[in-house]
Amino acid sequence: MKKCHLALKITQWVISELDLPLYCEFTYDTHDPLAITLVFDTDGERPVRWAFSRDLLAEGMTAPAGEGDVVLWPELCQDGEPSSFCVQVGSVRTALFEIPVEPVAKWLARTYDMVPQGSELDGVNWDELVQLAE
């Protein structure tokens, strides 16, 4: 089992005129190859952990993606390229975060080096899983 981490400073948008700096950590674990974990406020007293699809993260950095509890969309520069992306989490009480694209894109590429897209379920013993389900 291998893990890949990225810690960085991001922005939490409390309201459109009020932003707060916040630290977060992205984690990828080959034991759960389809998911990433994002922990907000890692240096605070009550960090908040969200797990969602690695492919959702990849898509949401360049185009609107997700529905329900996790929604992502890019924020574009004047040249039309994404400089950051937004993550909105929660369904009843939502929180909005803005995260720089470049460090996350480099980290995400490392996760795909560890487990290439499309090979996440290679090695799963489907017969054993079927037996457990019966």
Which pTM does this prediction carry?
0.86
For the chain, counts of helices (H) and of strands (E): 3, 8
State how far Cα 51 lies from the chain centre.
7
3-class secondary-structure state, position 111: helix
CATH superfamily of 3-133: Sporulation-specific cell division protein SsgB (2.30.31.20)
State how far Cα 134 lies from the chain centre.
34
Parse the chain into domains and list their residue ranges: 3-133
Mean pLDDT, 10 residues at a time, over the chain (134 residues)?
93 89 95 94 89 96 93 87 90 89 97 91 76 78
**Dist CA 26 CA 40 (whole Å):** 9
